[in-house]
Amino acid sequence: MKSVFEGLKVIDLTSALNGPQCTMFLADYGAEVIKIEPLGGEQCRTWGPFEEKSGESAFFASFNRNKKGCTLNLKSEKGKQMLYDLVKDADVLVENYKGGVTKKLGVDYETIKKINPNIIYASSSGFGQTGPISHRPCYDIVAQAMGGMLNLTGFKDTAPVKVGPSVADHVSGIYLAVGVMMALYHRERTGEGQMIDVSMQDVIFSILENAIPTYTVAGEIPERNGNIDPSIAPFDVFHCKDGYVALGVGNDRMFNNFCHTIEHEELAEDPRFATNDLRQKNYLPDLRGTIEDWCMQYTKKEIEAIMDEASIPCGPVLNVKEVIEHPQIQAREMMVHMDHPTAGDLYLQGCVIKLSETPGTIRTASPLVGQHNREVFGLTEEEEKQLIEEGVI
């Protein structure tokens, strides 16, 4: 089967989540990704949950499939030279150290491009490579806080709430992969390599959507507002007989249809709700209360069926088990079985981007620590033993 990145060689110096997310995308679509970990393995091998028999991290396994695993002590001159040898014919190097660390290790862009001038050097960090706090360490919750998202999430009378999944990490990984593809396209046309610099704070800031013009245009500082959308109404989560449903009614025509569907035609005639702007301003308490009273008469499935018939965007609020077992997720092959060398069968997420001619595939499980040292570095058994004794691998 053809792969879109077949023949692409990627050196992966990343750890945790945002960098491995990027290199996972490249690996899923055919790139040869060589993951270089510090001796003993990278930090997210210690993050649960763990497979019971082997103790392997399912978190690590989820984001490091399809990669070859090596170890190198980059603080040793021999380890550094071994990396440089790999870089000579590599297409891409990806790293996610905090600002300043790559220069100390001798793996910064200026050093690497002297070895391989055409390389694409992709860097993701908490605050980027420039600016007064670029040196700071960062995890997802800090990026959400300093990017403006945490203060917008939650209800008016609660403390700020982190978005459940690590959205700063995930979106940073996606942006970094997009940056790699843009740089590869540029190199294809010009032969010129370049550096990509993605900041987790920038990424969160970039997805604040309506919050930015609410301040810059309307002069208001947006506040936490629960599930209520700042631009569209009704666009919210409602309590029903057996849980919650999400409803989005995005325009005036759809609102008229919605009022007819819930048998509250008087709402469509009410001047307070004549336009989306008026509905948004007058949403509480009457419009919301009427909709929730209607929802409380039905189950999630019943509401979903009613709204589906009326072509109104609606979905039940599902837990993780319900999502995994949902026929749509199953039909899209968004969950796949993977055979791990020590953990056995792992049931993990599939490839999200569906390509008709060059689809992504999950070919190999995440590597064991240093599993491919001999293959990647071209070592004999004796040479491998010697380098282990010297603390290089």
Q: Which two tokens stand for residue 172?
A: 């940073």
Q: Under a CB-based contact definition with an 8 Å cutoff, are residues 366 and 33 in contact?
A: no
Q: How many CA atoms lie within 13 A of 35 on its CB side?
A: 31
DSSP state for residue 370 in the 8-state scheme: T
Q: Is 158 left (phi over 0), alpha (psi -120 to 50) or beta?
A: beta
User: CB atoms < 10 A from the CB of 393, how many?
Assistant: 24
Q: Cα torsion at 235, 237, 241, 243 (round to 10°)?
A: 150
Rounded-to-5 percentages of helix, strand, coil across the chain = 40, 15, 45
Catalytic residues: 169
Say what the alpha-carbon torsion angle 291, 329, 14, 187 is, to the nearest 10 degrees.
Answer: -100
Question: How far is Cα 227 from Cα 154, in angstroms, rounded to an integer?
Answer: 8
Using CA atoms, how far apart are residues 157 and 106, in angstroms rounded to an integer?
Answer: 49
In angstroms, rounded to a whole number, what is the distance separating the alpha carbons of residues 117 and 340? Answer: 37
